[in-house]
């Protein structure tokens, strides 16, 4: 806003009389009445085209009476009421099309009562003061979108948020003095599963459930943040975990993993949160993929393991979670493919590789986890060439085998 400025006169540096402001194109921009430096009397604002955009009045610096905004068409844009500087009664705003978009209500003393907002003639939110026990006055905001209603209540040290789908409560959380408290409900917006449990002093406590279309996915008990007793958990993969927790919240006893057909896919045993006891993994057809025993978290004794390709079966023993002694690799047809030896996790000794007909194809020498010594190649079960390795490096190759 620029151009000429006209003032009736000033007294002791204070504006007194009518002040007029103009747009750069010469159009009147504003007309304001002043008394001894205070806005006093009516005022009007105009746009560059000369359209009235706002009018109202002041009494010695305080807004009084109706203050009205206008759209360039002349239709009302907003209407507010003032009494000695306090907003009172109903304040409203309208769209260009004349639809009500906002309405705020104030008491005669200026206290805020309620605000409502609309979009395309549809109520979208309500804001109003609310008193929260122990936390004084706060504010409640309710928002509407389709069949959903969201509510947010805030006060000093307090917040409660809820979400309803029609009349069904689908989300709820409550924070008191920085800690989660009371009933907690969360509905996944994509999967649609519903989680319900209760917070006590910021810790889950009591029954925990996760359901989908009435079907229980997860169910168990919390005791001050610790899982206790029997739990059922359905993973995102097609497996169901059946678990047992002790009073300290640690896995204890036999734990089972079930396939969607109800068949056991995995068994393992825990003692106070540590793997200790039989361990077994089965394939979809019930075939054993891995079986053995844990001792205080370490694989111990005889074990069988299927390779990652689900083709070869590795059989041998563990000592303190390390392969130890003779191990055999059997192929998918059930024939020996390799025999090798370990010493506390490192390959050590002779490593035999067999042809598909069962004849020896290659014999390697290993020491402390690296190839060291002769590697002998066989043909028709008889040696014919060999290489020499030292500390994992090939030193000589294609050496003929001299018959003894």
Asked if the model's pLDDT at residue 389 lies above 70, the reply is yes
Q: What are phi and psi of 61, to 5 degrees?
A: 90, -5
In this prediction, residues 216-223 reach a mean pLDDT of 96
pLDDT above 70 covers what percent of the chain?
Answer: 97
Residues 164, 87: Cα–Cα separation, whole Å: 34
CA-nearest of 371, 350, 370, 372 to 362 is 350
Asked if the model's pLDDT at residue 4 lies above 60, the reply is no
Q: What pLDDT does 7 receive? A: 55
pTM of the model: 0.79
Residues 199, 207: Cα–Cα separation, whole Å: 10
Residue 11 CB neighbours (<10 A): 11
Asked if the model's pLDDT at residue 388 lies above 70, the reply is yes
Residues 230, 351: Cα–Cα separation, whole Å: 47
User: pLDDT tens-digit profile of 279-337?
Assistant: 999 988 888 899 999 999 999 999 999 877 778 999 999 999 999 999 999 988 888 99
Q: What pLDDT does 8 receive? A: 56
Pairing of strands 239-245, 226-234: antiparallel
> Per 3-state DSSP, what percentage of the chain is helix, strand, and coil (rounded to 5)?
0, 70, 30
Q: Which two tokens stand for residue 56?
A: 């109202």
In the numeric block, the tokens 């009045």 are attached to 57
Q: Which of 29-43, 111-125, 377-391 has the lowest mean pLDDT?
A: 377-391
Residues 165, 339: Cα–Cα separation, whole Å: 64
Q: Extract the runs of DSSP E, i.e. beta strands, from 296-372.
A: 298-299, 301-306, 313-319, 322-330, 336-343, 346-347, 349-354, 360-367, 370-371
Asked if the model's pLDDT at residue 1 lies above 50, the reply is no
CA-nearest of 115, 95, 96 to 106 is 115
Residues 397, 389: Cα–Cα separation, whole Å: 9
Task: Give the side-chain half-sphere CA count within 13 A for 270.
Answer: 14
Q: Which of 4-13, 135-144, 278-287 has the lowest mean pLDDT?
A: 4-13
Residue 318: partners with Cβ closer than 8 Å, 6 or more residues away: 292, 298, 299, 300, 301, 303, 324
Considering the chain, what is the average pLDDT of its residues? 93
Residue 290 CB neighbours (<10 A): 16
Q: Which two tokens stand for residue 253?
A: 């006893």
User: How many residues does the structure list for the chain?
Assistant: 404
Q: Which of 13-17, 222-226, 287-291 has the lowest mean pLDDT?
A: 13-17
Residue 299 CB neighbours (<10 A): 19
Q: Which two tokens stand for residue 270?
A: 């825990």
Q: Which two tokens stand for residue 119?
A: 């979009």
Say if CB 282 and CB 264 are below 8 A apart: yes
* DSSP state string for 184-237: EEEE-TTT--EEEEEEETTEE-EEEEEEETTEEEEEEEEETTEEEEEEEEE-SS
Asked if the model's pLDDT at residue 236 lies above 80, the reply is no
Asked if the model's pLDDT at residue 3 lies above 60, the reply is no
């Amino acid at each position: 806003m620029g151009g000429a400025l006209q003032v009736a006169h000033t007294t002791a540096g204070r504006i007194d009389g009518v002040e007029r402001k103009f747009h750069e194109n010469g159009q009147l921009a504003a007309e304001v009445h002043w008394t001894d430096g205070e806005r006093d009397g009516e005022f009007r604002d105009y746009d560059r085209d000369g359209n009235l955009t706002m009018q109202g009045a002041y009494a010695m610096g305080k807004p009084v009476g109706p203050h009205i905004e206008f759209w360039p068409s002349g239709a009302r844009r907003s209407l507010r009421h003032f009494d000695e500087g306090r907003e009172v009664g109903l304040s409203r705003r309208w769209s260009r099309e004349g639809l009500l978009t906002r309405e705020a209500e104030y008491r005669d003393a200026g206290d805020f009562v309620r605000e409502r907002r609309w979009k395309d003639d549809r109520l979208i939110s309500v804001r109003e003061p609310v008193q929260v026990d122990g936390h004084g006055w706060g504010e409640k905001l309710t928002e509407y979108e389709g069949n959903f209603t969201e509510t947010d209540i805030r006060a000093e040290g307090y917040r409660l948020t809820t979400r309803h789908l029609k009349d069904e409560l689908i989300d709820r959380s409550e924070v008191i003095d920085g800690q989660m408290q009371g009933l907690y409900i969360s509905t996944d917006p994509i999967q649609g599963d519903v989680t319900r449990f209760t917070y006590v002093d910021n810790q889950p406590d009591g029954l925990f459930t996760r359901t989908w279309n009435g079907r229980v996915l997860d169910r168990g008990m919390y005791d001050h943040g610790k899982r206790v007793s029997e739990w059922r958990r359905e993973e995102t993969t097609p497996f169901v975990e059946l678990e047992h927790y002790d009073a300290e919240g640690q896995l204890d006893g036999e734990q089972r993993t079930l396939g969607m057909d109800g068949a056991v896919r995995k068994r393992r045993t825990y003692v106070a949160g540590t793997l200790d006891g039989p361990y077994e993994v089965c394939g979809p057809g019930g075939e054993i993929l891995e079986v053995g025993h844990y001792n205080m978290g370490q694989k111990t004794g005889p074990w069988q393991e299927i390779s990652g390709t689900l083709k070869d079966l590795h059989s041998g023993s563990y000592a303190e979670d390390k392969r130890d002694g003779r191990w055999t690799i059997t192929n998918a047809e059930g024939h020996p493919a390799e025999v090798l030896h370990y010493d506390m996790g490192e390959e050590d000794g002779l490593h035999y590789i067999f042809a598909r007909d069962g004849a020896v194809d290659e014999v390697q020498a290993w020491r402390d986890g690296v190839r060291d010594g002769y590697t002998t190649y066989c043909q028709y079960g008889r040696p014919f060439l060999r290489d020499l390795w030292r500390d994992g490096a090939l030193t000589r190759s294609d050496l003929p085998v001299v018959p003894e």
